[in-house]
């Protein structure tokens, strides 16, 4: 089984999903790359691993210009200032959110892509679970 990334009908990336479908060298290189990029991955997963931060990203994605100000987060999501500050900081550290001006935030290009990748990963995991049941 392989995972493919397709753009305009052309496969631009392909990856086997089972370790036994990789050569030993390829798998070793991928695992080394994973280790060297661990800090970056940890920040992304930390940013995405909290319900409040996911709610904030979801709210941002619903905005026409993908921006919200500090007060909007408080009102729309019923959060106190400390929670907004802590969670915007974590989202910024993960590269998912950017500050566009004082007290105003926007979902970064990377953040939009990462959120969509998270949705895709959730769907893939569900499909794998269904395959295991069969």
- How confident is the model over 69-128, as pLDDT tens digits? 999 999 999 999 999 999 999 999 999 999 999 999 999 999 998 888 888 888 988 988
For 13-28, the pLDDT digits (tens) are: 999 988 899 999 999 9
Write down the pTM of the prediction. 0.75
Structure tokens at 8: 């305009």
Domains annotated for the chain, with CATH where assigned, are: 1-36 (no CATH), 43-112 (1.10.10.10)
Collect all residues with Cβ–Cβ distance below 8 Å to 73 and sequence separation of at least 6: 56, 59, 79, 84, 88, 105
């Amino acid at each position: 089984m392989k995972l493919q990334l397709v753009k305009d009908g052309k496969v631009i990336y392909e990856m086997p999903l089972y370790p036994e479908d990789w050569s030993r060298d390829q798998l070793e290189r991928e695992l080394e790359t994973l280790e060297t990029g661990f800090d970056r991955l940890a920040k992304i997963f930390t940013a995405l691993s909290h319900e409040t931060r996911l709610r904030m990203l979801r709210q941002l994605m619903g905005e026409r210009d993908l921006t919200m100000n500090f007060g909007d987060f408080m009102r729309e999501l019923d959060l106190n200032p400390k929670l907004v500050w802590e969670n915007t900081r974590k989202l910024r550290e993960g590269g998912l959110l950017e500050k566009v001006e004082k007290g105003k935030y926007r979902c970064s290009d990377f953040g939009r892509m990462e959120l969509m990748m998270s949705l895709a990963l959730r769907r893939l995991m569900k499909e794998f679970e269904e395959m295991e049941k069969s």
